Structure 1
Amino acid sequence: MQPLARNAGRPCQRQFHYACRHRPRLQCPSQRLFSVYQPCLRERPKPKSKPKPTDIKVNWFEQDDIHRAKRQRVEEGGEDPEAAEIKAKISALEEELKELRMGRLLGDSETEMLSELSEEDRVKMTEAIQERNEREAAFKKEVAARVATRMEAQDDSFIIKMATPQRSRVYLDRLNDTLRHASMNAPNPIIRREIWRWYSRCKQHLPSFLHLVPDSAWDLLWKTQSHLSSSNPDRLSHLKTLADDQISIGRDIPEVQKLARVEATFVEGERDQAIAEWEAIGDKFTGKDDILEEYWSLGIRMFSIIGNPLRAQEIAALMLGSNENADARILIPVITAWTQKNDALGYSNAWAIYVRLRDHLGPRITMEDYDRISMGFLNAGRKDLAQGVFKDMMLTGQASPEDSSALYKKSLGIVGKLQSMSVSAEETNRVSLQAMTVLPRKFQNKFFYGSWIKKLIGMGEPDAAAAVVELMYERGVKPDPKHVNGIIGAWLRVGNNESRQKAERMGWSMIQERLNFVQQRRASQNLDNSESSTSVTTKDGLEIPTHLERAVPAATIETFSILLLHYSRREMTAHVNYIQELLQPAEAKPNSYFMNHLLFADLRAHDHRRAWRRFQEMRRTVEPDMESFACLWDCMKFHLDAAKNRDLTGFPTPRALFFDMISWYLNLPAKLRDGAQEAVTQEFYDQVIRCFGLSQDLKGTLVAMHAMKHAFNLYATQDTARMVVLQVSRMGPTETETRRNRRTRAKDLRRNSKANVGNVTKVLDIIAKRRMSALSEQGIEYDDLDPETKANESLSLISELLRVVLVRTEEEPSMLEAGLQSIAWDMGVGGISLGEPLQYPIVPESP
């Protein structure tokens, strides 16, 4: 006991872990409460004698985690039985492992197998098994060698090693673990965030941490944090922190990191400091061509942003002059910086540099380059210069004398390329920007500007597109209303309040222009003696934006439709009704596009009856389209949903709506019919079948499926089969069905729905197996069929299921086919093939 006495206060690690076993704890509150009074219910134990001075007292404690300071005292000897049990189990496992390692050549099953063989076969089998075991051993040895080689090749030089307090050790361990993971895997946003988290914790809790970080760890930290992606928004700030930390400990950072630090300083708002540092490190990049271009590019961008385009232009000239392969697109920020000067000199210099950029890039200039430059001029308010850029884009690939480069060189008397990037005062005085932007005669029309407007709308720049409309009026070209309607729609898609107000003002101004035009025409024809036209801003109780002062084209029905859709989505019913009222004085004839927006507005309001009344009323003057019927089928689904609607009046049945749709479709001209057929999708098909299912019309479902195949070349799918199975299962019999009310019957259906679905599925499987067997008898395999034949087979399978159910639940087979043909005539598709009638006895299982 004497050696232990010297370490009584601090046991070794083995003794500590042996002692730190969890004691059995009380299982419930009643046991814990009872343990308080237990000493009172039994004889108190005799007090223990005090230890002699020569005895050594060892106190044992348990600790949940090595990184936690909280410990709990354990009574002496309390863990011995458990420890002995665990030790016995460990010994048993070690003996078992020893036996496995020593092991026999053959397993028990193989021994039994060999005992049943002849002597000759036993020798052959033994040799084969031994050869197999040798191959397995060689394979395991090879795998182990590969693992060992990989472990030896793994570079752990980035591991940060330092003596740390126990409480702070976790931060360093976590950082090393994440660095190790990052060294073996591709950049990962989660690992990147974890690395930065534990790096920051180490800096906070370990004072000497930065001095002990090895070079390879700094490189790995930089690599993980410098990854450029949308998942790394704090990239520059993290890089600046890493660079500052290295500089703080006197470490010389590479040039790439110096540039990143300067860029981060600039982005964080310390622009003067960033410019000064950029100028100071310039000498270190001399002769380093691989990084020199990046250094110059950073300087050009920074000087362009701070409004010093002259300095940026000088750096660009130096960069392009020293390297023929340098990317001349770095001039685009310089052009933008000159335009932001908002003076004649700035515009002249911007145009001169633009011409040099086109001359330098030649055929390598892209549409994106033109877009960036033209947007710079548009944002600066120089629509004419932006028009010149767009003209050059339209002339790309053509040797035209009206090209901006050709006109510019002609005005200066230069032949060949512009060699110098510097722009002299004489050059800016001799060149007339107005002459540079003159359009060729073939571009002086609304189609040229319309192409430009559509391109800007596609770029998400409705404000720039509106500026082009103003330029059209300045050049005497009247814009097409459809182009302005596109701008209104683009503004509304932006979604913010400012863009919405612009769209509404433009739309109402176009409607006002339409009303004025109609009033003037009627007055000129002596049809209206009123002196003033209707004003859209005089409606009581409505906030109508005042119309624009500048000229706008007159509204079309598309303009009314766009505003109608906008207000209906915002549930501004009064504005929707007012737009409809203005159709008559504006003499704007509604079309299917306008009608469909009204129908969908009624659908969103869950007023399917009003949608049907509106459709019937407007159909007298408006030709519907397939989208109109798609909306009505959506209304039909809501109408037949028993949980949402109990009143089935005021809306047609699925058969009646199908008759209207198919009659309209069959009466269309051939060209329009092809377009309508392309508009019918599988989702539309499924919605029609779903509505027949909700109405529990099995016969109508069968006819509709064949009619959709005949008219639109659409077939049943797995989703269709699932809907039909559910439809049939809902019609399954229940106990004493005729004497129960609706609520009780619905409860029975819900309770029996699973069983009904199972029964119908069994019937469907029987029919499918019977059809597959019939195909096999003909020497046909289902998997060898072409897609169209498979689709026909699926339709025939579902049709046969419906016929089986109809025969078993409703009528005789002899009457079924005649009834189906009668329903087909009622649905407008009389005479089409409805599939094969039943040719065999009905299966006994009922759905």
Structure 2
Amino acid sequence: MPPRTSHGHSFICRSCLVALQKRKPSAQWLTRHPSSRTISSARRSGFSPEKEAERQRTLELLGLSKERRGDKFSVKYFEKKTDGKMRPLRDVDEFNRSVMDLDAETEARLQQLEEQLEQATRFTKIVESIYGKRGAEELVKRAAESDPDNHPSVLLPEHGWPRAKGTQCITHLNNMIRTVGRKTGGGALRRGRINALWKYYSLARDALRGRPDAVYREFWDFLWRHLAVDHDNNPNRMYHVHILAQDMRKVGVALHDDQQLLAIEADFVSGFRKEAVAAHKRFVLTLGTNPETFAEFWELGLRMYCLMDDVDRAEQVVKTIVESPYEKDPRFLFPLIRMYASKPETVEKGYKVYQQLRSDLGDSITIDDYDTIILYFLKANETEFALFIFVDMMVSETVDLRGVHKLPPSVGNPFFFGKWLRRLISDGNLQGAHNVLLLSMSKGVLPQAIHVNGLIGAWLRSGTADNIQKAEDVAWAMINARMQFLGIRKDMKNLAAFIRLRPTNEVWPRANLETFSLLAENYKDRGLHAKMERLWIAFRDAEIPPNSFMLNQLLSSYLQSGQGKHIGTLSRDLTNHYRVEPDPWTFTVLWQALAVNRLVEISPQELPAETAQARSLFAEMVRSAHIFENGIDLYLSRSILHSFRKLEDTTGLLLAYRALRHIFKFIPSDLVVMELQVGSMDLLRTAKGRRGLRLMHAGQQVESSLRQRHQELIASGQLKAGEELPLDARTEELGNILERFLENQITVPDGGDIQALLRETAMEMGFGGDEPETKTSTPGT
């Protein structure tokens, strides 16, 4: 209510009058015509006659009109400012202007709305220029459909459910539906969001079934659209459809034709085969006769009956499809071919159906079609029929191999079968490749070792016990074939020139270096040292020159079996005997095999001998420096440096670091610098132990040296103030920091000559008397 003033005058605030002006006039008011008094009053106030008439009527209703008979009072007008203070107004005209004037906040809001409208107009024109007017309308429609707030029937009422728990579940489900509507963007949901939607729907199922009248069709369509989407993000699609269709039937919601077909398939896939078949029979006269669903309905039935091995019904469905007047894709026969091929008594019928399919497709048959049908026969171990189809795929002219004992040259050669083997191995069909391998040998075609090695490698990589055993059996059969060949070759030296011996039952190709390498790597990885030794004996008997890979596998096997002390001698014997050049991996194994890296502790009496062995090994590396032309591995570099550190060979460590840096192109990292300064290869453990303060101090020294170098470069003009230290300068300075630290670690007895000590150590480490030059950049240089 408006307050009374102390002088008896009526008071009405601005907000009340504005609200009264917004009241919708009645029909009676709309039919009245303004009087002359109203028109003259309107001229004085600045309002239109209609608005002035409305204002006068409002004043009359409130009892505030000046011209009411018998009422003599005056009206004072006030305006409330934004700070809450009241300002008196002179007369009604000033009051009217005050009512019509907009404050700054309202004007800013109106301006913002105008800018948004202008931006929306520009965006609409851009969309129309790209997609056209119809395309733009379709995008707007799709965006509106994706927002559940535009479709209130998608959301469920959140009151009136039987129990509080049911109401809570409905609320959570509504919130999830809103989230899905905002996040979908017209595409498939992420897997996590689909799972969340299914979770909240599952929790609300009981409540929904208890009150079906509160759930509209749009809600079910919304769930179906997102839970039945065929996408990689929805791996449980069929189970979702099975449950969703079940709930829709229970609450009396009729499924659309496409939904009904998908529901039948989902029932079948989910294990409810009898229910799916029964549903399929119920819709024979509806979906089975509708031209729009005919093909999909009967092809679904064919797939189900073929998977159930119901030959009679499957053949009846095929007859129905063939005799129908509708257009059909001959590929609908794929399930029938698969069913026929799976049984020996019907495999001939399967091959005949394939021939009919190939004839119907003609030139439109694809490589994928051939691969699919070949796979059916290979899985059924009908490899010969698979060969016939593979020949049709690979050979342009017709080649009939039925009943042929000897394959024609275009087919009966290792290259033809090699192509097939490579194709099957790349597709991961290892059992099919094995069957093809056996078929080729049964046809008198000896495969090449490279193709069999590919299958052996694929078996070993699979990691399954059955495949690994197959790989070993085939590899050793190839090794025995080579041994038999070598034995015959030796026997022929003592026979006449015109006599030729041939191996009996030569069904496997002879093993080569790759065959031995595959087995050696597998034995090494599995720690089967006994089998590795047996393989090495066979390898020497096979008279195959080894390479560094085979050598490395043997050395690694010895290291894993705890026989590291023999590795150095074994390596030198093998490399000298077989003239095998070591590679970086060879030296990695050799450094790991040193006692200082194998044993927990070395007695002081053994240190001189171990130090000499480490220096000798480094000398071998220097002689093989050309194999490190692309730089040395960080792991190997760390092993070398820490080996000398643990041996407490300070001069050897300094020279090894200089050689690694200037000969082997080693770039020390922050990690290596800190490890050598602290004396540990595990900085994390060091930070938690007693040497944590030492690690922190070393880090501070490194940072201090880097800052000093940075300031020197700025002072010399090589860097501008504010520029960071370049990466190459930082790397160089880190190397110098480590070198200075290692130099300071060398202690020389009184009267000793440090240069003489370094020259002697350099001779032992293979530098020929001249250690690598130091390129240390001291501060200020």
TM-score range, shorter chain: 0.5 to 0.7
Residue 558 (structure 1) aligns with: 514
Residue 569 (structure 1) aligns with: 525
Residues 603 and 807 (structure 1), Cα distance of their counterparts in 2 relative to 1, 3 Å cut: closer
Residue 352 (structure 2) aligns with: 349
Residues 183 and 747 (structure 1), Cα distance of their counterparts in 2 relative to 1, 3 Å cut: closer
Equivalences for 1:661-676 in 2 at 5 Å? 661-664=621-624, 666=626
Residues 336 and 724 (structure 1), Cα distance of their counterparts in 2 relative to 1, 3 Å cut: same
Aligned mate of 2:699, from 741, 748, 757: 757
Task: Tell me, in whole angstroms, the C-alpha distance in 1 between the residues paired with 2:235 and 2:470.
Answer: 33
Q: Which has the larger radius of gyration?
A: 2
Q: Could you list the per-position Cα deviations for residues 480-503 of structure 1 after superposition, in whole angstroms to 9, with x for gaps in the alignment?
A: 223223222322333333323322
Residue 56 (structure 2) aligns with: none
Paired residues of 2:567 and 2:593 also in contact (CA < 8 A)? no
Residues 826 and 376 (structure 1), Cα distance of their counterparts in 2 relative to 1, 3 Å cut: same
Task: Tell me, in whole angstroms, the C-alpha distance in 1 between the residues paired with 2:230 and 2:601.
Answer: 52
Task: Tell me, in whole angstroms, the C-alpha distance in 1 between the residues paired with 2:114 and 2:756.
Answer: 75
Residues 213 and 626 (structure 1), Cα distance of their counterparts in 2 relative to 1, 3 Å cut: farther
Residue 692 (structure 1) aligns with: 641
Residue 456 (structure 1) aligns with: 424
Paired residues of 1:807 and 1:816 also in contact (CA < 8 A)? no
Residue 6 (structure 1) aligns with: none
Q: Could you list the per-position Cα deviations for residues 143-190 of structure 1 after superposition, in whole angstroms to 9, with x for gaps in the alignment?
A: 9999xx999954332222233223443222222222232222232434
Residue 155 (structure 1) aligns with: 151
Aligned mate of 1:615, from 571, 594, 606: 571
Aligned mate of 1:174, from 172, 175, 178: 172
Residue 727 (structure 1) aligns with: 676
Residues 330 and 662 (structure 1), Cα distance of their counterparts in 2 relative to 1, 3 Å cut: farther
Task: Tell me, in whole angstroms, the C-alpha distance in 2 between the residues paired with 1:752 and 1:174.
Answer: 56
Residue 195 (structure 1) aligns with: 197
Residue 377 (structure 1) aligns with: 377
Aligned mate of 1:214, from 216, 219, 223: 216
SS state at 1:502 partner: helix
Equivalences for 1:310-321 in 2 at 5 Å? 310-311=315-316, 313-314=318-319, 317=322
Shift, 1:634, TM fit: 6.6
SS state at 1:708 partner: coil
Residues 432 and 780 (structure 1), Cα distance of their counterparts in 2 relative to 1, 3 Å cut: same
606-615 vs 487-496, which moves further: 606-615
1:445 to 2:413 alignment: yes
Q: Could you list the per-position Cα deviations for residues 719-773 of structure 1 after superposition, in whole angstroms to 9, with x for gaps in the alignment?
A: 7243224323549xxxxxxxxxxxx9x9764431211221122113322443465
SS state at 1:159 partner: coil
Residue 491 (structure 1) aligns with: 459
Shift, 1:332, TM fit: 3.5
Paired residues of 2:227 and 2:240 also in contact (CA < 8 A)? yes
Paired residues of 1:767 and 1:801 also in contact (CA < 8 A)? no
349-358 vs 592-601, which moves further: 349-358
The code of the aligned residue for 1:755 comes to H
Paired residues of 1:700 and 1:823 also in contact (CA < 8 A)? no
Paired residues of 1:481 and 1:556 also in contact (CA < 8 A)? yes
Task: Tell me, in whole angstroms, the C-alpha distance in 1 between the residues paired with 2:351 and 2:732.
Answer: 76
Residues 825 and 333 (structure 1), Cα distance of their counterparts in 2 relative to 1, 3 Å cut: farther
Shift, 1:619, TM fit: 1.6
Q: Could you list the per-position Cα deviations for residues 479-530 of structure 1 after superposition, in whole angstroms to 9, with x for gaps in the alignment?
A: 1223223222322333333323322322333333333333444344459xxx
SS state at 2:718 partner: helix
1:660 to 2:650 alignment: no
Q: Could you list the per-position Cα deviations for residues 247-277 of structure 1 after superposition, in whole angstroms to 9, with x for gaps in the alignment?
A: 1232211112211211122223443542343
Paired residues of 1:388 and 1:438 also in contact (CA < 8 A)? no
Residues 462 and 824 (structure 1), Cα distance of their counterparts in 2 relative to 1, 3 Å cut: farther
Paired residues of 1:492 and 1:500 also in contact (CA < 8 A)? yes
Equivalences for 1:259-298 in 2 at 5 Å? 259-285=261-287, 293-298=295-300
If the length of structure 1 is used for normalisation, what is the TM-score? 0.62
Shift, 1:811, TM fit: 9.5
614-623 vs 151-160, which moves further: 151-160
Residues 662 and 351 (structure 1), Cα distance of their counterparts in 2 relative to 1, 3 Å cut: farther
Residue 796 (structure 1) aligns with: 732
Structure 2 stretches of 5 or more lacking a match? 1-79, 86-102, 120-142, 496-503, 646-652, 681-685
Q: Could you list the per-position Cα deviations for residues 81-112 of structure 1 after superposition, in whole angstroms to 9, with x for gaps in the alignment?
A: xxxxxxxxxxxxxxxxxx998599xxxxxxxx
SS state at 1:479 partner: coil
1:518 to 2:486 alignment: yes
CA RMSD of aligned residues (A): 4.8
1:502 to 2:470 alignment: yes
SS state at 2:303 partner: helix
1:629 to 2:586 alignment: yes
Residue 8 (structure 2) aligns with: none
Task: Tell me, in whole angstroms, the C-alpha distance in 2 between the residues paired with 1:465 and 1:372.
Answer: 15
Task: Tell me, in whole angstroms, the C-alpha distance in 2 between the residues paired with 1:222 and 1:661.
Answer: 69
The code of the aligned residue for 1:384 comes to E
Q: Could you list the per-position Cα deviations for residues 603-647 of structure 1 after superposition, in whole angstroms to 9, with x for gaps in the alignment?
A: 444654343333223222341443533642672699448868787
Paired residues of 1:599 and 1:615 also in contact (CA < 8 A)? yes
Residue 130 (structure 2) aligns with: none
Paired residues of 2:190 and 2:233 also in contact (CA < 8 A)? no
Residue 89 (structure 1) aligns with: none
1:470 to 2:441 alignment: no
Residues 220 and 824 (structure 1), Cα distance of their counterparts in 2 relative to 1, 3 Å cut: farther
Paired residues of 1:596 and 1:628 also in contact (CA < 8 A)? yes
If the length of structure 2 is used for normalisation, what is the TM-score? 0.67
Q: Could you list the per-position Cα deviations for residues 4-52 of structure 1 after superposition, in whole angstroms to 9, with x for gaps in the alignment?
A: xxxxxxxxxxxxxxxxxxxxxxxxxxxxxxxxxxxxxxxxxxxxxxxxx
Indicate the percent of aligned positions where both proteins have the same amino acid. Answer: 21
The code of the aligned residue for 1:155 comes to H
Residue 92 (structure 2) aligns with: none
Paired residues of 2:287 and 2:294 also in contact (CA < 8 A)? yes
Residues 558 and 771 (structure 1), Cα distance of their counterparts in 2 relative to 1, 3 Å cut: same
Task: Tell me, in whole angstroms, the C-alpha distance in 1 between the residues paired with 2:631 and 2:212.
Answer: 64
Q: Could you list the per-position Cα deviations for residues 99-140 of structure 1 after superposition, in whole angstroms to 9, with x for gaps in the alignment?
A: 998599xxxxxxxxxxxxxxxxxxxxxxxxx99997589549
SS state at 1:776 partner: coil
133-142 vs 756-765, which moves further: 133-142
Task: Tell me, in whole angstroms, the C-alpha distance in 2 between the residues paired with 1:552 and 1:449.
Answer: 14
